[in-house]
Structure 1
Amino acid sequence: MKFYAGKKSKPTRDLHGRTIAAQAGMDNQFYNAFDTERLSNWEATGDFRTPFQMDRDRVLHTPAFRRLQSKTQVFWSGEYDFYRTRLTHSLEVAQIGRSICHWLRADSDLLRPDYYIDPELVEVVCLSHDLGHPPFGHAGERSLNFLMKDYGGFEGNAQTLRLLTERIFSVKRAGMDPTRAFLDGVLKYKTLWSELRREGEAPENHFVYDKQAKYLDWAMGGNDFPVEYTPGKARDQFKSIECQVMDWADDTAYSLNDLADSVRAGFLSIHRIEQWAEETEEPCGEGTPLGDLIKAIRGNRVEPFAGKRIGKYIQSAHLQEDTNCMSATTNRYRYKLVVDEEICRESEVFKKLAFEVVFLSPELKQLEHKGNYMLERLWAVLKTRYIDGQNIGGQNFQILPKEDAEEIESMEDVNDRARLVCDFLAGMTDSSAARLYKRLFIPDFGSIGDLVG
């Protein structure tokens, strides 16, 4: 690993020489200059916000964050107003993540009033964790990964990293210059695409792009992974404490809030739950997790059921000290998040129920097929025109907006052109992707005033 130059930035100070953390009333000894250093080594002066507050504010005001309001969480966005989208899911994960931080500060003897996990850092990690996800949910992610199999693959978390470091401010085509602690917080996976590729088979998920090795290197401060952290699951389990909190907050929201959506949408009925419980030999009697869910459905109290359970999941998390290759460098690796076994088991039951009864249902699979079909056809046209540089029907059609087309065509390497085409598709919402598809392929749809993206 050679990207990290070893330079440690000074604590960020205002015009009066006070550290920003002290100025903001947050003299938090948990973090040091290594954690708050930015990719560019830029230091703010005269700003009343902490570095992590600046990270959060930058994310909130980006188009990439706003687009999450029209991207699928479980059910297609826009079908009904009450379904969760990627945006509302991210907001809920952020709230749960902040609450976990406050709970740990109250619960753990390892933390102090001046030494704690920053809830605003965890908040921006949670708000950002799905930024890179494409239209049409995980089905869209799998589709793009298949289409990009010869060009380095596609992964939602890797795409989030790409946005934060290189693409999030579209006008400048630049990243947002994140702090190291923030960047590392979204790094759920620390294995390169090529490290998982075996005998010509491209990996299905859980990787970062090969060209992102420099950011992984920088996040780790130039430290090599110990030999026991082999590529894949072993290395991916090596997460900062903020990433661990985000992960559990995400699991909590997925286990409970997405379950509530499924009940309201009619995919999870008492009959279906009991049938699934019988098939999987999961107990569903009184006092069991499934029994409590069935009782909540009967009483029309699914939302209160989920809300109460969220509080229980938050308080099931505890801190444990850890020693590893990074723990001497940053406190972010000195601790592990340990969740009560009973709650972990309950969460897995709810996730399995949602996956097998809802996500695998023909109703959702038909919609996933439709999203996959649209992405495949859009990709085929854009690949011919912009990746392969060929005319379509003997004509040089300009399909993409001028700025996007010029950037793609300026790239000499075919992999770089493919990545930019993939960026364009991944950045679209469900509705804008469907609209572009209809504009290109449905004869009586569209007008000269339609927007492409």
Structure 2
Amino acid sequence: MNMREEWEKVEDVVLSNYAAKNILSKGREKSEKKCDIRTEFQRDRDRIIHSKAFRRLKHKTQVFISPEGDHYRTRLTHTLEVAQIARTISRALRLNEDLTEAIALGHDLGHTPFGHAGEKALDKIASFGFKHREQSLRVVDILENGTGLNLTWEVRDGILNHSGDIKPQTLEGQVVHLSDRIAYINHDIEDAQRAGILSESQLPTDCVKLLGDNKRKRIDNMIHNIIMNSYGKDCVIMSEDVSFATHNLRNFLFETVYFGHEAKIEGEKTENVISFLYDYYMKNLDSDMEMQFKLTGLEGRERSVVDYIAGMTDRYAMNLFSRLFIPDPWRVY
């Protein structure tokens, strides 16, 4: 018996009956020889961490575009906070931590540059619309390395359904779905406070009273609530009152921070950048765009253009915009 097989036996004993177990995985689209050390979900986690798309997250906006301060979140730090919260919940519920972590680390791989504003702009421009959760699945299925990562069905399901109305079919995916909200609600409040556009006193009073008056308390209360209401059950849920307060706090952030007055001003600039790049590449090719077109050109030029723009970091998109549309100064000697 190899090390992987030993661990699969441990899972059968230690994990909840509702946990996703490696030995019962629905597998990969392309069959592969199994590793004698790592389980299938461990391999998926490792493939995501070593991907270029994962590294690009460090230069993609979470909320604030190109912030000057050193302590604002990026899409990468958000991802790591989601993974930490999700693993805590999964361990308490005796679920599969490796699967949970893989889904958490891969859930935002398809996010656009410029955060919410970038996604909104690309969704408006693309004729077929744009959802980052769908793009994240494209990254791991097709775009990364030109062939995709060939991940297991369970990880792919969790990535695709980490947001939206359709629940992931594994409890581990459901954990990530809730952990994503816990993370961005609380760290975005903290970043907005640091930016001076939000104070604790502005938060909805009923939400603060129930969830807590600071980030630590809110995260702790949300995590405890999920564990207490989900332990030994075939679903991962919050109590009705905590779920309602969390939903209201999320709506408050969308109204005041994500699409508030300050964000609208920057969002218009973001839309211009993405719109100009979209129009340019619908008519022109450069060496990078040619590579993208070779990969997904059979799906149409627009699909390739959207994939290319969505994969950009903030600074790459801005530098490209500057190079294409801002004239260089004349050098007279």
For Structure 1 versus Structure 2, the TM-score category normalised by the shorter chain is 0.7 to 0.9
Q: In the alignment, which of 400, 422, 444 is matched to residue 306 of structure 2?
A: 422
Does structure 2 retain, via aligned residues, the 8 Å contact 1:166–1:174?
Answer: yes
**1:183 is aligned to 2:156:** yes
Matched with 1:153 is 129
CA distance in 2, matches of 1:410, 1:93: 31
CA distance in 2, matches of 1:360, 1:154: 18
Does structure 1 retain, via aligned residues, the 8 Å contact 2:206–2:245?
Answer: no
Matched with 1:248 is 178
SS, match of residue 237 in structure 2: strand
CA distance in 2, matches of 1:78, 1:252: 22
Q: Which amino acid aligns with 2:2?
A: R
* Runs of at least 5 residues in structure 2 that lack an aligned partner in the other structure: 14-18
**1:43 is aligned to 2:28:** no
**1:168 is aligned to 2:178:** no
Q: In the alignment, which of 101, 117, 125 is matched to residue 123 of structure 1?
A: 101
User: Cα distance, 1:409 vs. partner?
Assistant: 6.0
**1:314 is aligned to 2:223:** yes
Q: In the alignment, which of 243, 247, 265 is matched to residue 344 of structure 1?
A: 243
RMSD after superposition: 2.8
SS, match of residue 316 in structure 1: helix
Matched with 1:194 is none
Does structure 1 retain, via aligned residues, the 8 Å contact 2:116–2:258?
Answer: no
**1:104 is aligned to 2:93:** yes
Q: TM-score, normalised by structure 1?
A: 0.65
CA distance in 2, matches of 1:141, 1:412: 22
Does structure 1 retain, via aligned residues, the 8 Å contact 2:193–2:200?
Answer: no
Does structure 2 retain, via aligned residues, the 8 Å contact 1:34–1:180?
Answer: no
Q: In the alignment, which of 11, 24, 30 is matched to residue 27 of structure 1?
A: 11
Q: TM-score, normalised by structure 2?
A: 0.87
Q: How do 1:407-418 residues align onto structure 2 when only pairs under 5 Å count?
A: 408=293, 413=298, 415-418=299-302
**1:79 is aligned to 2:68:** yes
User: Cα distance, 1:423 vs. partner?
Assistant: 1.2
Shift in alpha-carbon separation, 1:271–1:420, aligned structure 2, 3 A? same
* Runs of at least 5 residues in structure 1 that lack an aligned partner in the other structure: 1-16, 106-116, 190-204, 207-232, 294-304, 323-334, 387-398, 447-453
Larger radius of gyration: 1
Shift in alpha-carbon separation, 1:262–1:67, aligned structure 2, 3 A? same
Q: Which amino acid aligns with 1:369?
A: E
Q: Which amino acid aligns with 2:319?
A: R
Does structure 2 retain, via aligned residues, the 8 Å contact 1:58–1:176?
Answer: yes
Does structure 2 retain, via aligned residues, the 8 Å contact 1:59–1:65?
Answer: yes
Shift in alpha-carbon separation, 1:179–1:437, aligned structure 2, 3 A? same
Does structure 1 retain, via aligned residues, the 8 Å contact 2:83–2:105?
Answer: yes
Shift in alpha-carbon separation, 1:160–1:412, aligned structure 2, 3 A? closer
Higher helix share: 2
Matched with 1:258 is 188
SS, match of residue 160 in structure 2: coil
CA distance in 2, matches of 1:174, 1:78: 34
Matched with 2:270 is 371
Matched with 1:193 is none
User: Cα distance, 1:338 vs. partner?
Assistant: 2.0
User: Cα distance, 1:33 vs. partner?
Assistant: 4.0
SS, match of residue 100 in structure 2: helix
Matched with 2:16 is none
Q: Which amino acid aligns with 2:112?
A: P
CA distance in 2, matches of 1:139, 1:251: 18
Does structure 1 retain, via aligned residues, the 8 Å contact 2:168–2:174?
Answer: no
User: Cα distance, 1:410 vs. partner?
Assistant: 8.2
Does structure 2 retain, via aligned residues, the 8 Å contact 1:132–1:426?
Answer: yes
**1:144 is aligned to 2:133:** no
Q: In the alignment, which of 46, 57, 66 is matched to residue 57 of structure 1?
A: 46
Q: Which amino acid aligns with 1:163?
A: V
Shift in alpha-carbon separation, 1:118–1:365, aligned structure 2, 3 A? same
User: Cα distance, 1:422 vs. partner?
Assistant: 1.2
**1:438 is aligned to 2:322:** yes
SS, match of residue 132 in structure 1: coil
Task: Note the alpha carbon deviations across 1:109-154, whole angstroms, 9 max, x for none.
Answer: xxxxxxxx111110110111111011011221122222221xx332
Shift in alpha-carbon separation, 1:253–1:407, aligned structure 2, 3 A? closer
Shift in alpha-carbon separation, 1:313–1:283, aligned structure 2, 3 A? closer
Task: Note the alpha carbon deviations across 1:216-242, whole angstroms, 9 max, x for none.
Answer: xxxxxxxxxxxxxxxxx4xx2463212
User: Cα distance, 1:411 vs. partner?
Assistant: 6.9
Q: Tell me how many residue pairs correspond in the alignment.
A: 323
Task: Note the alpha carbon deviations across 1:186-214, whole angstroms, 9 max, x for none.
Answer: 1217xxxxxxxxxxxxxxx95xxxxxxxx
**1:94 is aligned to 2:117:** no
Q: In the alignment, which of 200, 209, 217 is matched to residue 288 of structure 1?
A: 209
